[in-house]
Amino acid sequence: MRQYPSISEKHRSFIERQHMYFVGTAARDGRVNVSPKGLDSLRVLGPDRVVWLNGTGSGNETAAHILDSPRMTLMFCSFEGQPLIMRLYGTARAIHEGDPDWGELLALFPPMSGARNVFELAVDLVQTSCGFGVPLYDYVEQRTLMPAWADSRGPDAIRDYQQQKNRVSIDGLPTGLPQPDLAAPRPT
């Protein structure tokens, strides 16, 4: 195991080759959440800054946890080639539609129907380990089910779904998801 104070170019290259990563968060009380992520949803913006785009899903645990305790870990595993596990530790914040830097950060990614939030991680520790116990897998392709699901519903139905399913965590914690202004017209 080795530890580094920031993301080097070698680390960045490894991260950018991965097809999947895992996000770990926990509030001060309640359940710990570990969530797999894929698609083209992560950007390394500097030696101590990473952002990732979160699509609409059945839960919104990460956002709830970050409001309570901003700790976050991102983990990458090489499932192909040389074995390696890399963890990025740091402090995170959630950016929602309507926040001042939402548009700027969202523009870093390909369009994603159902984009719900962007998370920014201020990295304070990078840790690598051998990964000898991680199995080898052949990558086939990214699944298109989540974007297709969001596309089939449209923006209004996605906002309604988020309001019904994503306002609180499984432990009852608020997620910070903004409530739509019912008097304002919905964007098209």
Residue 182's pLDDT is 52
Residue 66's pLDDT is 97
Residue 185's pLDDT is 53
Tens of pLDDT along the chain (188 residues) come to: 999 999 999 999 999 999 999 999 999 999 999 999 999 999 999 999 999 999 999 899 999 999 999 999 999 999 999 999 999 999 999 999 999 999 999 999 999 999 999 999 999 999 999 999 999 999 999 999 998 999 999 999 999 999 999 999 999 999 999 988 754 555 54
Q: Which residues contact 130 (CB under 8 A, 6 or more apart)?
A: 83, 84, 85
